[in-house]
């Protein structure tokens, strides 16, 4: 299978415009702008079944179709480059190593939806990468691939880079909009959805970096070829990031629907010497954990959902048998307690309470009923928050409790277990 997003030598620096064009770069944007109508492009993306790579997996072509047409208000594109889901490091590679691939994708998306202004909201820690992307924007504008009259077609599109400042919740699309507008990142009540009332009260499309980076290949080779790379409901390839107790942690571009077992044991080189597989978190920290005997699963949105987890950002965290499950749980609950934005009471208080309970268990001071109490607190957060962070905090906790309950209970001192 041809590698489409990751065709760079390991350790290579950022690919400049000349090198990108030598490999056919910007030919897909030129094809779209000169020989397709915006409706053609939208239809092609729908037929390719390109699903959002940020985590939720919403079909990109359908998301675009929610934008009201010809209303007079400007339409914005916000590129979600906030990449904060623990275990995820894929967008960093596209942004840092192949920025023109993203920019070409932005041109195609902009043309398809009628957008003339795009913002790349990039996590604050990616400071060096943000500067590289700004350099690439200058380069592309100088050569007429961005700006007032792209390749003489009359289509105009400007791109600006906007850095976040350390807040996981800003990866949630309405929090991202608030943050871009210069406010703290508190998610908005929906509806209205961003496609109708988004950035600066205008219709807004929010797409993940990897989603947009798929567009040049999709348009160049056509939707049928794109769809054939993946699954019938979920086209293309994915950047699978593997971290944790494996021999070769890293990023692997494989078909959507690749086997989780093969990703871990072939591509990532299997377990570190002396360790046995205990569990896998398959799609970033928010995705429910899988036990070692549950990894014969295809890595596409529908298969992972059917197995009780989710593909999410495809950040795979591999856990060895030397890691106590309580330690895993502690890292999970600590993270959400820190990142809850504080707007919704169930999430603000619930995540802090879960963290407190797990800290008590970790300190060997657990009491009988603590594990059940953890489940109870989790269930009080679930479904009661404005944004998905609440559920993201709950689902991994419930999965750990249901799959590793015995191990958790053994952390409670015997005397208090009897009490």
Partner 1 sequence: MSTVLSSGLKDRIAALAVRYPRKQAALLPALHWIQDENGFIAPEAERDLAALLEIKPIQVREAVAFYTMFHRRPMGRYHVQVCDNLSCDIRGGATVLARLQERLGIGPGETTADGKFTLTTVECLGACEKAPCLMINFDYHGSLDPDRVDRLLESLE
Which residues contribute to the site for partner 1 (CB under 8 A)? Answer: 83-89, 92, 123-128, 160, 162-168, 179-185, 200, 241-245, 249-251, 281, 285, 315, 317-320, 323, 327-328, 331-332, 335, 338-339, 341
Q: How far is the CB of 200 from partner 1 (least distance, A)?
A: 5
Q: How far is the CB of 27 from partner 1 (least distance, A)?
A: 31
What is the rounded distance in angstroms from the CA atom of residue 144 to the CA atom of residue 240? 33
Nearer to partner 1, 251 or 387 (CB): 251
| Residue number with CB closer to partner 1 (176 or 212) | 176
Nearer to partner 1, 179 or 351 (CB): 179
Q: Which is nearer to partner 1, 44 or 91 (CB)?
A: 91
Give the 3-state secondary structure of residue 10. coil
Identify which of 335, 333, 341, 338 has the alpha carbon closest to the alpha carbon of residue 371.
333
Distance from chain centroid for Cα 225? 24
Contact 103, 137 (CB under 8 A): yes
Tokens representing 391 are 């559920």
The least distance separating partner 1 from the CB of residue 284, rounded to whole angstroms, comes to 9
The residues with which 319 forms a beta bridge, in sequence order, are: 279
Tell me if residue 407 falls in helix, strand or coil: helix
CA atoms of 149 and 165, how far apart (whole Å)? 33
* Residue 63 CB, nearest approach to partner 1 (Å): 23
Close Cβ partners of 183 (under 8 Å, ≥ 6 residues apart): none
Question: How far apart are CB 83 and partner 1 at their closest, in Å?
Answer: 5
Closer to partner 1 at the Cβ: 59 or 99?
Answer: 99
Distance, CA of 219 to CA of 252 (rounded, Å): 22
**Alpha carbon distance 231, 257 (integer Å):** 6
Contact 175, 183 (CB under 8 A): no
Closest approach, Cβ 101 to partner 1, in A, equals 18
Output 211 or 303, the one with its CB closest to partner 1.
Answer: 211
């Amino acid at each position: 299978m041809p590698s489409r997003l990751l065709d760079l030598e390991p350790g290579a620096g950022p690919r400049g415009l000349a090198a990108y064009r030598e490999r056919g770069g910007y030919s897909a944007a030129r094809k779209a702008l000169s020989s397709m109508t915006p409706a053609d492009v939208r239809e092609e993306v729908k037929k390719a079944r390109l699903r959002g790579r940020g985590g939720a997996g919403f079909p990109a072509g359908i998301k675009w179709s929610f934008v009201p047409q010809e209303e007079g208000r400007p339409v914005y594109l916000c590129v979600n480059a906030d990449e904060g889901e623990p275990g995820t490091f894929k967008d960093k590679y596209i942004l840092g190593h192949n920025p023109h691939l993203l920019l070409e994708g932005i041109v195609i998306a902009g043309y398809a939806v009628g957008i003339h202004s795009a913002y790349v909201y990039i996590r604050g820690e990616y400071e060096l990468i943000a500067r590289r992307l700004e350099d690439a924007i200058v380069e592309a504008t100088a050569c007429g691939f961005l700006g007032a009259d792209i390749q003489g077609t009359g289509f105009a599109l400007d791109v600006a880079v906007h850095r976040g400042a350390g807040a996981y919740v800003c990866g949630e699309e309405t929090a991202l909009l608030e943050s871009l507008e210069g406010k703290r990142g508190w998610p908005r009540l929906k509806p209205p959805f961003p496609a109708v009332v988004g950035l600066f009260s205008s219709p807004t499309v929010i797409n993940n970096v990897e989603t947009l980076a798929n567009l040049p290949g999709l348009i160049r080779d056509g939707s049928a070829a794109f769809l054939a790379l993946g699954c019938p409901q979920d086209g293309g390839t994915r950047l699978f990031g593997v971290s944790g107790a494996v021999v070769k942690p890293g990023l692997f571009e494989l078909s959507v629907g690749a086997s989780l077992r093969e990703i871990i044991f072939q591509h990532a080189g299997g377990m570190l010497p002396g360790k046995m597989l205990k569990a896998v978190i398959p799609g970033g920290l928010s995705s429910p954990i899988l036990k070692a005997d549950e990894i014969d699963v295809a890595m596409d949105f529908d298969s992972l959902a059917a197995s009780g987890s989710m593909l999410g950002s495809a950040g795979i965290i591999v856990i060895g048998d030397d890691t106590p499950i309580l330690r895993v749980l502690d890292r999970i609950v600590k993270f959400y307690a820190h990142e809850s934005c504080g707007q919704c009471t169930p999430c603000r208080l619930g995540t802090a309470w879960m963290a407190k309970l797990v800290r008590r268990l970790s300190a060997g001071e657990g009491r009988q009923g603590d594990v059940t109490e953890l489940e109870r607190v989790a269930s009080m957060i679930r479904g009661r928050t404005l944004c998905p962070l609440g559920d993201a905090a709950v689902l991994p906790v419930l999965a750990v409790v249901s799959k590793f309950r015995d191990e958790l209970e053994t952390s409670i001192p015997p005397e208090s277990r009897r009490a």
